[in-house]
Amino acid sequence: MRILITNDDGINAEGLEVLRRAAQLISDDVWVVAPETNQSGVSHALSLTQPLRVRQIEDRVFAVNGTPTDCVIIAVRQIMDVRPDLILSGVNAGQNIADHITYSGTVAGALEGAILGIRSIAFSQAHDWSKGPHPINWSVSIEQIEKLLPKLIAIDIPASSFLNVNFPIKLSEEGEQISISRQAHRMHGLAIEDRVDGVGRPYYWLKFEETTHEVCDSTDISALEFGKISITPVKVDMTDHAIITKLEETLL
């Protein structure tokens, strides 16, 4: 099995190495094509107005001065002589859940894989950001991903769909440890902080804040709160099929 790994935290990220080690346990044909620098929050962005440069670090390991989406495309279309059978994205430093998955470069790496018709899975490790950005506790990811990955790749994921997997900060010691979750709805969690630079000019800094969210045991948010691994199937097709009939009745 040929496996391609990418992420959005950059080529030197700890989570990337966690995922790489797990992949190497099931295949001797593992490739890494990841951003040269941190690309968190770039979502599904493409680099259309600047050249992409590829730096080979070692055999089957490359850094690209672009986004996770750029990395997947250039890996599949240019770097690799044969398409991968599986694309893994992550492990991201911090959870990618609820509506915030739309901002995630990690999720976008798997999304691009699904668009290309390649089985894809995104992985993220939850973190309490109120305690600062570091250190991330990777223990749950390290312990569980090696057990979970062979089971996930055995699943027949439908075309144009992918899996979004989130590991809790601490795994529950009681009951089921895995939750097949749906994406939760959370109130918009971005805030704007006003600042002033050294010469008195104003500027603004976007940041995430904790917000209210729906309370439901079946969501990805609840899964992490209860110490469960959240696995959410995601579709590339964003059509709201439930509204099509209403639109047809009103407009046609």
pLDDT tens for each residue of 167-198: 999 999 888 899 999 999 865 567 888 999 99
pLDDT tens for each residue of 87-120: 999 999 999 999 889 999 999 999 999 999 999 9
Is residue 189 situated within a structural domain?
no
Q: How does the average pLDDT of the chain come out, rounded?
A: 93
Mean pLDDT across 23-47: 97
Is residue 203 situated within a structural domain?
no
Is residue 194 situated within a structural domain?
no
Is residue 198 situated within a structural domain?
no
Question: Token pair for residue 137?
Answer: 């506790």
Is residue 208 situated within a structural domain?
no
Question: Token pair for residue 246?
Answer: 């209403």
Which residues have CB under 8 Å from 18's CB, separation 6+? Answer: 91, 138, 141, 142, 145
Is residue 133 situated within a structural domain?
yes
Inter-CA distances, 82 with 6, 161, 242, Å: 17, 22, 39
Q: How many domains does the chain have?
A: 1
Overall pTM surpassing 0.85 (yes/no):
yes
Residue 129 reports pLDDT greater than 90: no
Model pLDDT, residue 134? 77
pLDDT tens for each residue of 138-160: 999 999 999 999 999 999 998 89
Q: Name the residue range of residue 142's domain.
A: 2-184+215-251
pLDDT > 90: percent of the chain = 83
Is residue 80 situated within a structural domain?
yes
Mean pLDDT across 122-127: 97
Is residue 206 situated within a structural domain?
no
The β-bridge partners of 195 are 203
Q: Which residue has the tokens 């439908």?
A: 158
Rounded CA separation 138/15 (Å): 8
DSSP string across 119-183: EEEEEEE---GGG-S-----HHHHHHHHHHHHHHHTS-PPTTEEEEEEE-SS--SSS-SEEE-BP
- Look up residue 151 and give its amino acid: K
- Residue 131: give its domain's CATH number: 3.40.1210.10
